[in-house]
Amino acid sequence: MNPPRTISVEPRPITPLADLVGEERIQELTTTLASVASRARRRTLWQINSTASGGGVAEMLHGLVGYLRDLDVDVRWLVIDGDDGFFDLTKRLHNRAHGAESGPALCEADAAHYEQVSRRNAEQVADLVRPGDLVVLHDPQTAGLAPTLTDLGAIVVWRCHIGSDDRTPVTESVWRFLRPHLSAAHAYVFTRERYRPSFVPDASTWIIPPSIDPFAVKNIDLDPATVDCVLTAAGLLDGSAPDPARTRFTRPDGTTGEITRRATVVAETLPAAGEPLILQVSRWDRLKDMAGVMTAFAEHVAPQQDGCLVLAGPAVDDVSDDPEGAQVYDECRTAWQKLPVALRQRIMLATLPMDDLDENAVMVNALQRHASVVVQKSLAEGFGLTVAEAMWKRRPVVASRLGGIADQIQTGCGLLVDPQDLPAFGKAVRQLLDDPVAADAMGEEAHRHVRRSFLADTQLLHWVRLFDVLLT
């Protein structure tokens, strides 16, 4: 087991956000932070999770840490390690927190192994953290560090990005498992109020929705010609050799990157540039229901509508804390192989290389901007940042009516469906493909809604207000 890794993040200037959200919102953020600064002096803010890539939490941390560094906050990001058994267990906890049965029931041996790995990580982190520091622990992988760091004299916040609207024996088993560790925390942050377990005091709870960074490589503007060139260079779109100038991009540190790697695709043919494209991009996770999207498209979209489906996710060997990914991807590939040739010609599975995270982000950005419709047919979802990302890019979205997705898609911003109702899902996709004018109007309203509610300054302000309370 390796020691915790420090993730280096370049400062991200906060002032350009004012052009998008207005000076008043940025002024409120900087004024509130200034009032906290004197009490935070000589303290470090630690963000601790279990991966630097491959999911919404890691992506969000890159942005938030960068902005906080620009605001002169001493913030550092650590990624803990664990063995295969630990990450298998925390994946089960993740799925169960969403209400999904996953593997065998939690047992004393699981608790002992979780305690053992957590103790090793906590001892190594304790060598870095000082009394009085603020520590934000993210999700079940880090909950076991809370008692040690609290005993050290740190102010500990547990940030949970997952949860279920319903309390069931499955979800309650997770909270019983984690409660001995979490009781030591000083504050708890959830995405939705309904995700808060009953033992967490209301007075110690904060509700902070996630956000996207509009200046991240994944979300920056790309013109249509650049989109086509990026996708062609990445092996995701049929076309001639792209203009090299349009496959270059600017990294957060100001240097230039270029699309040099290609996605691994499973397809009979590549989509053509002018072909309608339905896209779901997410981890290869059963709760994202990639296989269900494929079935819904094959049975309820393809027979009545032109276009193709692209299911895209990270290269399965490159997400360290998600051992389920390779298995889910293989299941999707097997299901694709069983389809008739005519359907296989309209469905592509793509794993995007993660060797260069900025390059990966540009590929996702281009896919989302190229899509005629973006879907997110999750069976459970803590929040689902891919929804806000697509909405920011003015894409019409069809997504599951559950969890944090329902908080993002308001009337006129997208279409919500029961994830189990495949005919309704197909009908919603066809509706948007059949009426491009209405789809474009929906995309514009979606963009405005994200600008109002889900950009980085709103989340930062929530966090600064929480720190203000904890340091008072």
The pLDDT tens digits of the residues spanning 82-115 come to 999 999 999 999 999 999 988 899 999 999 999 9
pLDDT score of 38 more than 90: no
Residue 310 pairs in a beta bridge with 279, 348
322 pLDDT band, cuts 50/70/90, is low
Q: What pLDDT score was predicted for residue 37?
A: 85
Given a cut of 70, whether residue 424 has pLDDT beyond it is yes
CATH assignment of 224-453, among 3.20.20.10, 3.40.50.300, 1.10.10.10, 3.40.50.2000:
3.40.50.2000
Average pLDDT for 115-123 = 97
Q: What pLDDT does 324 receive?
A: 82
Under the banding of pLDDT at 50, 70 and 90, the label for residue 41 is confident
The topology (CATH level 3) of 5-211+455-471 is Rossmann fold (3.40.50)
Q: Measured between alpha carbons, how far is 283 from 318 in angstroms, rounded to an integer? A: 11
C-beta of residue 344 within 8 angstroms of C-beta of residue 302:
no
Beta bridge mates, 400? 417
- Residue 320 in this model has a pLDDT that exceeds 60: no
Name the residue type at position 374.
Answer: V
Q: Quickly list DSSP for 203-241.
A: GGEEE----B-TTSTTTS---HHHHHHHHHHTTSS--SP
Q: How many CB atoms lie within 10 A of CB 69?
A: 16
Give the whole-number percent of the chain exceeding pLDDT 90: 90
**pLDDT for 236:** 97
- Assess whether pLDDT exceeds 90 at residue 238: yes
User: Is the pLDDT score of 321 beyond 80?
Assistant: no
What count of other Cβ atoms lies within 10 Å of the Cβ of residue 170? 19
- Residue 319: pLDDT band with limits 50, 70, 90: low
CA atoms 313, 449, 47, 140: torsion sign: negative
Q: Distance (Å, rounded) from C-alpha 452 to C-alpha 212? A: 12
Average pLDDT of the chain?
A: 94
The DSSP result for 172-202, as a single string, is HHHHHHHHHHHTT-SEEEESSGGGS-TTS-G
Q: Output the pLDDT for position 223.
A: 96
Mean pLDDT of 236-256: 92
The Cα 193–Cα 313 span in angstroms is 29
5-211+455-471 and 224-453 agree in CATH topology = yes
Tens of pLDDT, residue by residue over 161-217, are: 999 999 999 999 999 999 999 999 999 999 999 999 999 999 999 999 999 999 999
Domain residue extents for the chain: 5-211+455-471, 224-453
Check residue 316 and give its pLDDT.
85
Distance CA 144, CA 412 (A): 42
pLDDT band at 240 (very low <50, low <70, confident <90, very high): confident
Q: Which residue has the higher pLDDT, 324 or 374?
A: 374
What pLDDT score was predicted for residue 268?
97
Min mean pLDDT across 182-186, 250-254, 356-360 is at: 250-254
Q: What is the pLDDT of residues 371-411, one digit of tens each?
A: 999 999 999 999 999 999 999 999 999 999 999 999 999 99
Ramachandran sector of residue 228 (left: φ over 0; alpha: ψ -120 to 50; beta: rest): alpha
Distance from C-alpha of 252 to C-alpha of 248, rounded to nearest angstrom = 13
